[in-house]
Homo-oligomer: A and B are copies of this chain.
């Protein structure tokens, strides 16, 4: 069992979230690859049981660099079906497009036939930090990683 946490990050905010999520996955005893999106090839996506993607909030959507990976992933359309997916973002302000960014990724994951899980307590659609994630936001990312890993163990 193996989970990918892939991120695009310029300021480092989204990267910090990705690191915390990866930590949570490993806390649960599940192998985790943490990678900058530039180091991810579409062929790699087939190797994981769960795929978690992070991007800064750029004009209310994932960054073009991450979108390109999804566009290229059409090469394997249908082969990601049944895998678990998730999304996280770092946004500049409340109401700044963070939720729509998370959904820009979730839309792509659903079109791949993947499984998404919400959260009744924390940020419902996926981790969302305002600027540099503070201690509380980091904790939530760790928890999110653990939760995703637990679900992956259960389903896979």
A54-102 interface with B by 8 A CB criterion: 58-65, 67-68, 70-71, 73-74, 77-78, 80-81, 93-100, 102
Contact flag A124-B104 (CB < 8 Å), given A67-B64, A67-B67, A71-B63: no
Specify which chain B residues have a CB less than 8 angstroms from the CB of A67 in the assembled complex. Answer: 58-59, 61-64, 67
A123-156 interface with B by 8 A CB criterion: 123-128, 130, 151, 154-155
Report if A32 contacts B (CB, 8 A). Answer: no
Specify which chain B residues have a CB less than 8 angstroms from the CB of A77 in the assembled complex. Answer: 120
Report if A45 contacts B (CB, 8 A). Answer: no
- Quote the shortest CB–CB distance from A117 to chain B (angstroms): 5
Contact flag A64-B60 (CB < 8 Å), given A95-B128, A99-B98, A115-B116: no
Alpha-carbon distance A95/B77, docked complex (angstroms)? 17
Give this chain's copy count: 4
Contact flag A95-B110 (CB < 8 Å), given A59-B71, A64-B68, A116-B116: no
Contact A61 B104 (CB under 8 A): yes
Contact A93 B123 (CB under 8 A): yes
Contact B95 A60 (CB under 8 A): no
Contact B116 A96 (CB under 8 A): no
Chain A positions within 8 Å of B, measured between CB atoms, are 58-65, 67-68, 70-71, 73-74, 77-78, 80-81, 93-100, 102-104, 107-128, 130, 151, 154-155
Cβ-closest 3 pairs across A and B: A110-B118, A95-B123, A60-B107
